[in-house]
Amino acid sequence: MTMSESLSLVSASKSFGGWIKRYKHHSRALDCEMIFAIYLPPQAENETVPLMWWLSGLTCTDENFMQKAGAQRVAAELGIAIVCPDTSPRGLDLPGEHDSYDFGSGAGFYVNATREPWSRHYRMYDYVADELPSVVRQHFPLNGRESISGHSMGGHGALVLALRHPGRYSAVSAFSPVVNPSTCPWGKKAFSNYLGDDAGAWTQYDACELVAKGASRQPLFIDQGEADNFLEEQLRPERLEAVCTEHDHPLTLRRQPGYDHSYFFIATFIEDHLRYHAERLQKQA
């Protein structure tokens, strides 16, 4: 096997009859060691199962969702595997990489960086779109049917990946996604440093821009907490709502009164998302 195909088990914990496992491998796309987590439901002991990708947000690792979302019970019932990648390359110590929570370490933004010193390692789009899917398909009992979801920066990543790969994902959903990163402080900071100052290069990683260009007809399902302290400055769901209305793009946007940006919000509604994904993964069969 090549280096990227060789996995080293980091930990394993049984949960609702299935297993949460963490693996280390060398990523060629990122040129560093990476860890990802997978939940294998009990059905995976005897048959192949569908897969939901979960992309996490700023400051997170592969562990946040597995430990805080409370998804394993329903995933076990539905027979869905879940893979959680990390959110950026690790162990590099590039200049300025750890200076702020919203850029560099823990903040890969699911793009392929084109500016130095980031371009050699910060290629999270290729890692999540191509390399890691190839790795998990080789090693785990998956049936080829996939969906994708995520939170905040990861919600941005999930929407962008689904819109740029029509037909690949049976379903896409998101919690509190950054829907128009080209125009918000988080996105401007990340995109200008990773991609340069040409805003035209940013549009390929912007859900609102992709919807406007008609990149895909993928239905979008989003939950947004109305008490989210990032709502007005960073998330701006009304912008995606407007562009979807203008271009007749299917969107379900649920505004949840009183809920914030935390995993308490995600844990409250993750069952709805898993059942939404399961229904569409079954239809793809």
CA–CA distances in Å: residue 162 to residues 9, 172, 217, 219: 29, 7, 10, 9
Distance from chain centroid for Cα 32: 20
CA distance 193 to 186: 11
Q: How confident is the model at residue 269 (pLDDT cuts 50, 70, 90)?
A: very high
- Reported as a single tens digit per residue, the pLDDT across 229-254 is 999 999 999 999 999 999 999 999 99
Q: Are 133 and 109 in contact (CB under 8 A)?
A: no
| Coil vs helix vs strand at 19 | strand
**C-alpha to C-alpha distance for 254 and 262, rounded to whole angstroms:** 16
For CA atoms 88, 90, 94, 100, the dihedral sign is positive
pLDDT greater than 80 at residue 160: yes
pLDDT of 60-96, one tens digit each? 999 999 999 999 999 999 999 999 999 999 999 999 9
User: Mean of the pLDDT values across residues 179-191?
Assistant: 98
Say which of 152, 170, 182, 216 is annotated catalytic.
152
Q: Which of 105, 182, 228, 273 is catalytic?
A: 228
pLDDT value at residue 56: 98
Please tell me the distance from the alpha carbon of residue 154 to that of residue 52, in angstroms, as a whole number: 13
Q: What integer pLDDT is reported at residue 4 of this predicted model?
A: 42
51 neighbors 144 (Cβ within 8 angstroms):
no
Does the structure show a pLDDT above 60 at 115? yes
Residue 51's pLDDT is what?
98
Q: Which of 121, 261, 273, 277 is catalytic?
A: 261
Q: What's the CA gap between 55 and 182, in Å, rounded?
A: 19
Cβ pair 39, 82 in contact under 8 A: yes
* Inter-residue contact 65 to 39 (CB < 8 Å): no
Beta bridge partners, 189, equal: none
Active site residue 261: yes
The residue type of 284 is Q
CB 84 within 8 A of CB 23: no
Predicted pLDDT of residue 284: 58
Average of per-residue pLDDT across 36-50:
98
Residue 62 bears catalytic tag: no
For range 201-230, the mean pLDDT: 97
Residue 139 a catalytic site member: no
Q: Evaluate whether 207 touches 237 at the Cβ level (below 8 Å).
A: no
How many C-beta atoms surround the C-beta of residue 5 within 10 A?
A: 13
pTM: 0.96
> Residues 198, 205: contact at Cβ < 8 Å?
no
Q: What is the pLDDT of residue 47?
A: 98
Task: For residue 129, name the pLDDT band (cuts at 50, 70, 90).
Answer: very high
The whole-chain average pLDDT of the chain stands at 96
Output the pLDDT for position 283.
80
